[in-house]
Amino acid sequence: MALERVAVIGAGAWGTALAQAAAIAGREVVIVGRDPAVIADINSRHINPTHLGMQQLSPEITAASALPDVDIVILAVPAQASRAALTQFAPGLRGKPVVLTAKGLEHQSLKRQSEILTEIVPDAVPFVLSGPSFAADVAAGRPTAVTLAGDDAEATSDIAAALAGPSFRLYAADDRVGVELAGALKNVYALGCGAVEGAGLGASARSAMIARAFAELTRLVVRMGGSAHTLTGLAGLGDLTLSCTSTQSRNYQTGMALGRGVSPVGIGLAEGVTTAPVAKSLADGLRIDAPLIDAVNLLLGGRATINEIVGGLMSRPLKRED
């Protein structure tokens, strides 16, 4: 199967960065966007100043408002916008491999991104891309490694090879459920770790939270049908560590603001803010003990400060480490 032509739906920072990676890999790439000014900048000046500053883009990348006939479609819009985008472009997705890159769960339905795709375009072929990666690093050609998960091993390896370049490495995997859940839930934990940092509680407290977040994440993912093995790799531990320690992470930045006492009212740009109540609903429905997810929801709801929350976590009954 020829995998030469790639369309990236979403002209934001992440979509543009993935388009850059695909172009460096030798693919013919078109970015599908909505903003005429962004489209014009990409086509005429080979930059996307609105979302990626003056980072120079490959001249082989073009931009358009309509989805052309391509071999691979990459969806790179925020998780809560996925349904609208998939509905809009559904006719062009039928029978095509669709690489889903949003790290979040749909707020109302609690669905993963691939579940939304299957609902809207049943004959599309879902793949999930996730791992420790920032748009600025990928666009600049800095070494980045991620996971690409799909149901068919050969097809997943083919897609990974088509998108891989000298600085963008994709590891093929078969645990679509685990990769999606890890990518979504790590954003919730990043809010908590950012709050610990913002409150000045120290690196020891943040490290403890990351370790306990990994244990909690493992319980959730395994109960929901994912593999514990997935969590030891790029999509699990790799992405969790990056998001919970780097100020480049929007979720971590948002958590830091909460930890400093900024009101949660009006905070809503980070994916973890929307995913946190969904994660709580999932954990409660499965009767899984998830104290860190509960804590982040308390913080977002303004029902407790980070110091009160950490005090409560520290006073939980002692038990053996799982």
Q: Which two tokens stand for residue 140?
A: 């600049």
**If you ran DSSP here, which 8-state letter would residue 29 be given?**
E
For residue 322, how many other CB atoms are within 10 A of its CB?
9
Residue 105 region by backbone torsions, left for phi larger than 0, else alpha for psi between -120 and 50, else beta: beta
Instruction: State which amino acid sits at residue 100.
Output: L
Nearest one of 48, 98, 51 to 70, comparing CA atoms: 98
Q: Which two tokens stand for residue 146?
A: 């991620």
| Catalytic residue selected from 96, 186, 280, 319 | 186
In sequence order, the 6+-apart residues with CB closer than 8 A to the CB of 82 are 75, 100, 102, 106, 113, 116, 117
What are the distances in angstroms from CA 238 to CA 15, 45, 243? 21, 35, 9
Helices and strands (H and E) in the chain: how many: 15, 8
Query: Pairing mode, if any, of strands 144-150 and 168-173?
Result: parallel
Return d(Cα 16, Cα 23) in angstroms, integer.
10
Helix-strand-coil percent breakdown of the chain, rounded to 5?
Answer: 50, 15, 35
Packing angle, helices 250-259 and 271-286, rounded to 10: 80
SS3 30: strand
Return d(Cα 142, Cα 48) in angstroms, integer.
18
User: Is 96 marked active-site?
Assistant: no
User: Catalytic residue numbers?
Assistant: 186
